[in-house]
Amino acid sequence: MTTNRQAEAQEPAAPRTAVVTGGSRGIGRAVSERLARDGMAVVVNYASDATAAGETVAAITAAGGRAIGVRADVADEHAIAALFDRAEQEFGGVDVVVNSAGRLALSPVAELDLGVLDALHRTNIRGTFVVAREAARRLRAGGSFVGFSTSVIGTRLPGYGAYTASKGAVEALTMILARELRGRDITVNAVAPGPTATDLFLDGKTPEQIDQLAKTPPLERLGTPEDIAGVIAFLTGPDGRWVNGQILRANGGLV
């Protein structure tokens, strides 16, 4: 005879839900698809490209997963609150937040257009804070927040001053937020990809520059979005529960 306690133990775990900002293209899409394969319902956030978001959602559902696309500017606190509302309405709550939305602009410091700097920091710094703040308010116990930094913080390549400064803010926030969430069983980490073959990375670079960057890591290749998605899957899955407040440099062996 099965007792109530035995019946409860046999019940499958409730499905988890992930919010992936910038989840329709590049690394974000790979993360969305990987977390869906791992059994999570996924809210695919996008800023403007509804077609790409629809393609990502279609790919997930065609593979048997659950996903919806939600448009929101990550730096707009009202839009992000509405995004989390939608996640809770559709899937019952939020367990994982991956803030992969970001902006890249390259320029020597002496030539930097301050309007470009403001736009970059609005997405990369304000956007990270807005999404992290909502995640801190809404994540359920056992949840995870993952931000995005960059391995250029270590390599210090010329031209990346504005971008790297914005990602330094992400790294500074990571441990502080982890400590602020003490006692809630929520992990907070950041991933710092190295050179990864995405449209964002490849844009504006010559074939020679790309080839040179590909040969820089000891593994002598560019990373793939799937490489980074695998790291995210680890940090947000059961095997990553003891990793907290860390910056994981997924870069093939760069500094």
Q: How far apart, in whole angstroms, are the C-alpha atoms of residue 93 and residue 106?
A: 38
C-alpha 71/C-alpha 94 separation (Å) is 17
The residues assigned a catalytic role are: 163
Q: What is the pLDDT of residue 1?
A: 47
State pTM to two decimals. Answer: 0.93
pLDDT given for residue 186 in this prediction:
98
Average model confidence (pLDDT) for the chain?
94
User: Tell me, what's the pLDDT at 66?
Assistant: 98
> In this predicted structure, which of 5-19, 65-79, 86-100 has the lowest mean pLDDT?
5-19
Looking at residue 201, what is its pLDDT? Answer: 81
Order of strands across the sheet that contains 67-71 = 67-71, 41-46, 17-21, 96-99, 144-148, 187-191, 247-248
According to the model, what pLDDT value does residue 7 have? Answer: 47
CA 187 to chain CA mean position, Å:
14
Sign of the CA dihedral with 117 first, then 80, 167, and 225 last: negative
- Concatenating the DSSP letter of every residue in 178-215 gives HHHTTTS--EEEEE---SB-SHHHHTT--HHHHHHHHH
Give dist(CA 236, CA 135) in Å, integer.
Answer: 14
For the chain, domains (ranges, CATH) are: 14-248 (3.40.50.720)
**Six token digits for residue 224:** 């793939």
Amino acid (one-letter) located at 44? V
3-state secondary structure of 12: coil
Can you give the pLDDT at residue 35?
Answer: 98
Where does residue 132 rank: exposed (0-12), middle (13-18), buried (19+ CB within 10 A)?
buried
Helix or strand holding residue 145 (H, E): strand 144-148
pLDDT band at 13 (very low <50, low <70, confident <90, very high): low
The confidence score (pLDDT) of residue 4 equals: 56
CA distance 162 to 100: 18
Q: What is the mean pLDDT of residues 16-24?
A: 98
In tens, the pLDDT along 125-177 reads 999 999 999 999 999 999 999 999 999 999 999 999 999 999 999 999 999 99
